[in-house]
Each structure stands twice: as C-alpha cells, then as structure tokens.
Amino acid sequence: MDADARLLPRQSRYRKTWAAIALLSTLASLAMMLAYQHGPSSEVWSFFTGPPKVQANGEFRTDFRNVARLKPEDHVHREPKTLNHKWRVTSGLRRPDGVLRRVYLVNGQFPGPTIEARSGDEIIVEVENALEQDGISIHWHGLSMHGANEMDGVVGITQAPIEPSRSFTYSFTIEHDQHGTFWWHSHYAQQRADGLYGGLVVHKPVVGDDEPEIACERLLLIGDWYHRHAADALKAYLHSGAFGLETVPDSMLINGAGRYTCGDAVPARPVDCIEVPAESQPSLYLDTRKRTIFRLVNVGAYAGFSVSAPGSVMTALTVDAGHPVKGKMSRAVGYVQPGERVDILLELDPVAGRYSTRLNVTLDKTPFKYENPALTRTQTFPLHWNGRSRKRQARSELHSIVAENFDTRTAMSAEDQSAALPPAAQHTVLLYAMTQKLASLDNGPRGFINQTTWRPQSPPLNALARSKWDDNQFVPHIPYNKHSPVWVDIILNNLDEDWHPFHLHGHSFWVLTSYTSDYNRGSYNPYDGTKPPGGEYDLKNALRKDTLYVPRHGYAVLRFQANNPGLWAFHCHVLWHEASGMGMAFDVRY
C-alpha cells in the first residue's frame, strides 16, 4: 500500500486476489457480450421528440469537404481582428454512417461550424439554445482563456447551462503566442457524444518579411460513434449488471460521416439503416503542389485511433496547442486519445513511388472489455490528388528512416525545454484516480479522485463562496501571484486497469515523466522517501500538452505555471469516466 493511504480511494484498501479479478472480468465480459447481442433494449430519448420511425427521414451526411478544408491564406497575413459568430443549436435526424439517429445541429450543421482565426483575434459567439428541453454549454478545448475564466463553458464550475429559449454570448481573446489545432464541444451532460462539437483552428501569423509556403491543410474530426443516445450508453455503463464495463462504440465518423454495414447490426439493437452509397462516401481532395498537413482531433467518447495512408509516409509535427514534437517519418500515427490533437505532414512514400489513394483510420481496441460484432474498427476514406507532384527526396535517403508507427504516447519535445522549466516546482498536488463500485452508489462504477466523485453543482462554483461548495467538489487551492506565478507539479497516479486521458483547462503543462507497471499499482508518492519508479524527471525533452494519456497502473508528472487565475477543470476525457465522476478543479486565485 502507498505510504499516504489517506489519499487513496477507500475501496482500494481492500485486497482481492488476481484470480478472483480475472474470473469476474471474464464472466462480466461474457455477460455483456450476450446482453449486447440478445438482451432487451430500452431507449430513453432525452433531447429527442421520439424514436426515429420513418426510414426516409434523415440525411446521409453534411458537406464533408467544407468541414475538412482550411484556409490559412485568409488569416496568416492579416492583423488581429474581432470575429463574430451567431449559432443556433437545434436537433435533427441524420444518417452519419447510414444509421438514422437524432444529433445536435448548429445552424443546421453536423458537426457544427469550424472557427478559423489567428493569434490575437477576439472571438465572439452568440449561442442560442433552440432545443425544447436540454440546457447546453460550449467549451473551447485547449485555449487558455486567459482572463476569461467565466467563458470556459464548464457547467457546474464556471457557468450554469444555457436553458432552452435562452442565449449566451461567449467572448474571449486568443493569446498572441497561442496557435494550433483546437476544438469546441459541449461541456454539459454527454452532449458531445451526440454531436455537439466542431473544429477550432488558430493559425500562426507570418512575422516580418517571412513568406512561408501555404500548405494544403485539412481538419479531420475523428471519433467513435454510438447508435444509442449518449445518455443511454452512460446508463448502460453505470448499471450494476454491466460490472463496470464501458459501452463499446458501434461505429466511427470522420467529420460527421462514415459507413456502417447494415447487416452487422445485432438482434438486440435493431437500427434504421441504409447502406451509404459509394458516391456518398466522404472523400478528401488534396493538392500535390503543396505541403499536405492533416490536423487530427479525437472528438470521440471512448476510444483512441490511429491513421495510415498506404503509399504515403507521415511525420508528426505538433501536438495539442501547436507544440512541436520530435517527429520521425512513419507509415502510421497513433493512438490519438479522446481530446488529443496531432498535426501531421503527409508525403509520398519513397518505396511505393506514388500518392496514396486512401486514408485508413483504426479505432484502438485495447480498452474494449467485450466485443461489439457490429463494429468495423478500420474505415477507409478516399484521397483524391490534383496537380503535379512536388520534388521528391531520393528513395534511398527516405527509406532508411521510415518507421512503422509514431507512438504519440511516447512523443518528446522537438525543442530543449530546460530553459523554460524551473529545476523544481513550488507546489505539489498528489492525486490518485480510480474507478470504484460502491454499495452506497448502487454498485455502479463511479470515478474518484482522492476519495471524491465529482458532480456538477448548481449554482456553479464561481457563483458561490468556497464554504458553500458541496462534498462532490475536490478543488485544491493554488495561490496566484500575478508578478511571480508559482510552478505546480501534478503527480497523477492511475490505480485503474484502464488508461485515462486527462485534460487540464486554462493551462498547458509539461510532461516530465510517465510510467506504467506490470506487477503492482505503479504509483508514486514523493513524500514517502522512495525514488520515482519511472526515473528522474526529464526537463530537456518534456513535451508540452493540455491533454495526456496516463497509463494503467502507473503515473504521470505534469508541471504547469499557475499564471491564469480562475477555477479550472481537470478531468478524464473518456466521456463515461468523466460523467461518472472522474473530475476535479484547481482554484488558482489569491
């Protein structure tokens, strides 16, 4: 047991044999598989007016090309300005992958509109909630929101939900040194798994007389997809009879479109399905005369993904908010976890000698505890090239340095970070994250951080005195000093069998180390006098991020500078874990 047992979740103190765990896991997986294929199905339609009945209703897809195509040339040369947007949120029937389903729409679009901006722009978005029942909110994932904590969009912490027939205006300025790939999504209930999300790209402006080549940029919003309403998927996960096994997705979408084989639907969950015709299959149109950059975002609820393009090689350029990585040419990149972003350069494969005609996207099956026979884990999307080929490097030069896969989990910074980081932090927060099944909570799985399972409070925390916060709020105080901001180390121990991608709002952090153990909890407590099992902190190669994969039975050490006052959420970005309570916040204030 770890030295400071007071910080461990209560149930973690009881030891169970590995044999019992293995047996229960096997029985649970079998039960879930049988239930999925043959069990009864009952749907709860929250923002629906009723279940879909007419096969002809719904549309196959939105305009895939308009979502994907970016226009950096419209932003990199201009001065900062104010960008005004007006959004109306509704719902409607669509067939994203051929299966009829009600989704959230923003100005009639699914996914919602993509915002393109440059560093220093002011963004004003008036959001009208035209739904009949549900409240909504919008979070700007990855943006620092410096000086605009109340615009962060986290229901229960920084705002109340925008109620039906009401509007709310988000207004904030992008910092001059911030650029990269971001996205926006609802931060209320499970709405992002029902389609309330969209892209957000901040282009880096040209400085001085520089005339960089304008790349052919494409935004790819990739994620797992459920044919059930997200509230039903969560309800299934929280049910004690599910033994804590997360609901496995049914499909996958890229920019709101995909393909599902109707004949694969299981009897227990019949769907209104029409095979997507070949001419409706989403395609990407590229220009061989320009550098091709894919901005990848995992907008999914649960699974990571990898990408490959046979006939081409990829080089990872940046992660999350435009932070450069020490990339290497590879034939695949992954796995990108929920909430993470990666920008990659796509080039001609030196061996194939021709451009790829398809992009393969594969969901990571590692977290799945049982099989969904209806899920096709790999989907293929056509690539169409125009123009003459760019000048190529010699085959012999490239062939020797092409790797099979670039693992984003072990990526390092492309730049020496030693000068950017202090040798030690002034403040340390020791965390233990774990999923537990407690009799007091109906034996369903609940996410805990340091013995607290989070639930959004109403009114939100920023409208209440700290003494009024309830017992579901774990919010360590970090002293804010405007003139000399403190440095903070988060030591995040993951006691679960599952990985957890954690996202920090309001700040980016440097990953000093990450470790996993095959024979014990793999946790680290700096106060018990033992050396970190993952070795000394690596300040030189520390990668800067805002969303991080924390391995099973292991830990990660994250260092950030508390230079942005406010209440900032910190949570697992697997939607089912977040919704079950695996969240907290930092109170960065005087």
Specify if 253 maps to a domain: yes
In a domain, 108, yes or no: no
pLDDT band at residue 54 using 50, 70 and 90 as cut-offs: very low
pLDDT of residue 444: 92
Q: In a 10 Å sphere around its CB, with 0-12 CB exposed, 13-18 middle and 19+ buried, how is residue 426 labelled?
A: middle
pLDDT bucket at 277, cuts 50 / 70 / 90:
confident
**Burial category of 490 from C-beta neighbours within 10 Å (exposed 0-12, middle 13-18, buried 19 and up):** buried
Band (pLDDT 50/70/90 cuts) for residue 485 is: very high
Q: Higher model confidence: residue 266 or residue 100?
A: 100
Domain count along the chain: 1
35 pLDDT higher than 50: no
CB count in 10 Å sphere of residue 326: 12
Average pLDDT of the segment spanning 209-226: 86
Q: Is residue 23 part of a domain?
A: no
Give the lowest-confidence range in 46-55, 289-298, 571-580.
46-55
**pLDDT mean over 263-282:** 85
What is the separation of C-alpha 151 from the centre of its chain, rounded to a whole number of angstroms? Answer: 19
Global pTM reads 0.89
User: What is the pLDDT at residue 476?
Assistant: 98
pLDDT at 521 over 90: no
> Which of these, 249, 256, 260, 336, lies nearest to 294 by C-alpha position?
336
pLDDT at 43: 29
Q: Tell me what the pLDDT averaged over the chain comes to.
A: 87
Average pLDDT over residues 123-151: 98
Whether the predicted pLDDT of 379 surpasses 70: yes
586 in any annotated domain: no
Q: What is the mean pLDDT of residues 434-460?
A: 94
Burial 16-55 (b: 16+ CB within 10 A, else e): eeeeeeeeeeeebbebbbebbbeeeeeeeebbbeeebeee
Query: 396 pLDDT band (50/70/90 cuts)?
Result: very low
195 pLDDT above the threshold of 50:
yes
CB-CB neighbours of 543 under 10 Å = 25
pLDDT at 481 over 80: yes
- The reply to whether 512 falls in a domain is no
Tell me, yes or no, whether 97 lies in a domain: no
* Mean pLDDT of the region 402-407: 85
Q: What pLDDT was estimated at residue 207?
A: 80
Q: Is 49 left (phi over 0), alpha (psi -120 to 50) or beta?
A: alpha
Is the confidence at residue 412, as pLDDT, over 50?
yes
Angle CA 445–446–451, to nearest 5: 135
pLDDT band of 12, cuts 50, 70, 90: very low
User: Please, are residues 134 and 191 in contact by the beta-carbon 8 Å criterion?
Assistant: yes
**Domain extent at residue 229:** 220-410
Residue 257's pLDDT is 92
Task: Identify whether 275 is part of a domain.
Answer: yes
Percent of the chain with pLDDT over 90: 69
pLDDT higher than 80, residue 100:
yes
What's the whole-number mean pLDDT along residues 37-60? 37
Sheet with 445-449, strands from edge to edge, namely: 445-449, 427-437, 487-494, 554-561, 509-516, 543-545
Whether 230 shows a pLDDT value over 50: the answer reads: yes
Average pLDDT over residues 193-221: 89
Each residue's pLDDT tens digit, 339-373: 999 999 998 766 666 667 889 999 999 999 998 98
Give the count of alpha carbons within 13 A of 457, CB side only. Answer: 23
Helix or strand holding residue 27 (H, E): helix 18-38
Mapping DSSP to helix (H, G, I), strand (E, B) and coil, where does residue 324 land?
strand
322-330 mean pLDDT? 91
Task: Give the containing element (helix H, strand E) for 399.
Answer: helix 395-399
CATH number at residue 278: 2.60.40.420
Q: Distances from the Cα of 212 to the Cαs of 207, 292, 317, in angstroms?
A: 10, 14, 16
Indicate whether 21 pLDDT > 60: no
Output the pLDDT for position 224: 98
SS3 state at 267: coil
Q: Which residue has the higher pLDDT, 102 or 46?
A: 102
Which tokens belong to 562? 């508390």
Res 60: pLDDT: 53
**82 belongs to a structural domain:** no
CA distance 220 to 253: 10
Q: Which residues of 433-471 are buried (b: 16+ CB within 10 A; e: fewer)?
A: bbbbeeeeeebbbbbbbbbbbbbbbeebbbeeeeeeeee
The residues, any chain, with a CB within 8 Å of residue 304's CB and separated by 6 or more, are: 298, 334, 335, 336, 337, 338, 363, 364, 366, 367, 501, 549
Backbone angles phi, psi at 27, to 5 degrees: -65, -40
DSSP code at position 499: -
What are the φ/ψ torsions at residue 286 (nearest 5 degrees)? -125, 165
